[in-house]
Amino acid sequence: MLIAILLTLVLVVASIFVHYEMLRLISSAMQKMSGTPRRRLLLAIGVVFVAHIIEISLFAIGFGLMQHRWGLGEISGTIEGGWVDFFYFSASSYTTLGMGDLFPSGDLRFVAAIESLAGLVLIGWSASFTYLSMRDFWRLDEEC
């Protein structure tokens, strides 16, 4: 269980770092960018989306390592085989969707539970960032 706790801590910190850096990058770029508010906001949404994909991928790699390298549990259920199962399960956990067709056993349950909490916080952070960006750049009286 110690490996699962340490790996979860590393994954959460890495996800927060990725999220922070991506939001800082796009925030700075939006300030310097010329053009319409539409372009700025679409770019911001795209970067936020990419940040979430990277974070989901980090957890998917963690699940793969825990299952195949350290034997600390496994993802079971309707398995297709390969990377896509870990990514799908990670996305389902991160978004708190929890479809139920794949489920963790062993120490992977702990990581999945914490990933859901991390995903909830990071998605909330993205929503807040998007709101603030729209407040700053979305003018109804301007041409979009």
Domain boundary assignment for the chain = 2-29+38-137
pLDDT digits (tens, 9 = 90+) for 97-107: 987 899 999 99
Domain 2-29+38-137 adopts which CATH fold?
Answer: Helix Hairpins (1.10.287)
Query: SS3 for 35-101, per residue?
Result: CCHHHHHHHHHHHHHHHHHHHHHHHHHHHHHHHHHCCCCCEEECCCCCHHHHHHHHHHHHCCCCCCC
Mean pLDDT of the chain: 93
Task: Please give the pLDDT value at position 7.
Answer: 97
Given a cut of 70, is residue 143 above it in pLDDT?
no
User: Residue 86: pLDDT band by 50, 70, 90 thresholds?
Assistant: very high
Which tens digits make up the pLDDT trace of 42-58? Answer: 999 999 999 999 999 99
Model-level pTM greater than 0.75? yes
